[in-house]
Every structure is written in structure tokens, then in C-alpha cells.
Amino acid sequence: MNTLTILNAVLCAVIALRLLMFRRASGCHRPWASRLAYALVLVTGSVPIRTIFGAPLPVDVTSLAINAVLCAAVLAVRGNVVDLFRCGMGYDNPITRLLRKTHDHAR
């Protein structure tokens, strides 16, 4: 196992753990954001597990850089996936609008 593989596994573990430990203060449940966070936890969490059990994915410098940027972004927003897609200046892009949708309980 080389250094890039180990670094990639560590970065992916940090991403998965930070997303798992996200706590929404008093916000409402956002189903699409939850699904995205769940998918990211599964995808990033599988990398260190595969590495530990001897079936690591091939890693190069570019994929390591992408995971490092994603890790920094997830840490910067404290695990809030909605904030990953938020633009400044009061503008919400289409992805943010979808993720911010709340589950309607009206019956």
C-alpha cells in the first residue's frame, strides 16, 4: 500500500465521520439533503473500509486532490451538505433550492 492510498483513505474517513456527526440545531428535516449526505457517507466511508481489508481503489494525485478539496469543504461547513452548494449574495442555485426543500406534513 502506498502513501497516496493511505492519505486518500484518511481523507475519505474524515469526510464520512464529519457528515455522520452533523447535528442540525433547530432546522427542519430536508429529505434531499439527507439523501445526499447518506450517499456521501456510503461512498466516502467505503474507501477506508476497502483499504483496511486489502482491496483499495486505485488512487492518483488528481483524485487525492479532489478528495482533499471535498474534505476541506465539508469541514468548513461543519458537515452541512446544503451549505456546500450555497452561493453568496442571496442567490440560491437550483441544487441548493432542491436540497433546502422541506418535507411537507400537510395532509
Distance CA 37, CA 3 (A): 27
User: Cβ atoms within 10 A of the Cβ of 47, count?
Assistant: 22
pLDDT of 103: 60
DSSP string, 50-104: HHHTT-PPP--HHHHHHHHHHHHHHHHTTT-HHHHT--STT---HHHHHHHPPPP
pLDDT of 93: 62
Q: Is the pTM of this model over 0.95?
A: no
% of the chain surpassing 90 pLDDT: 53
pLDDT tens, position by position, 23-71: 877 777 788 889 999 999 999 999 999 999 999 889 999 999 999 999 9
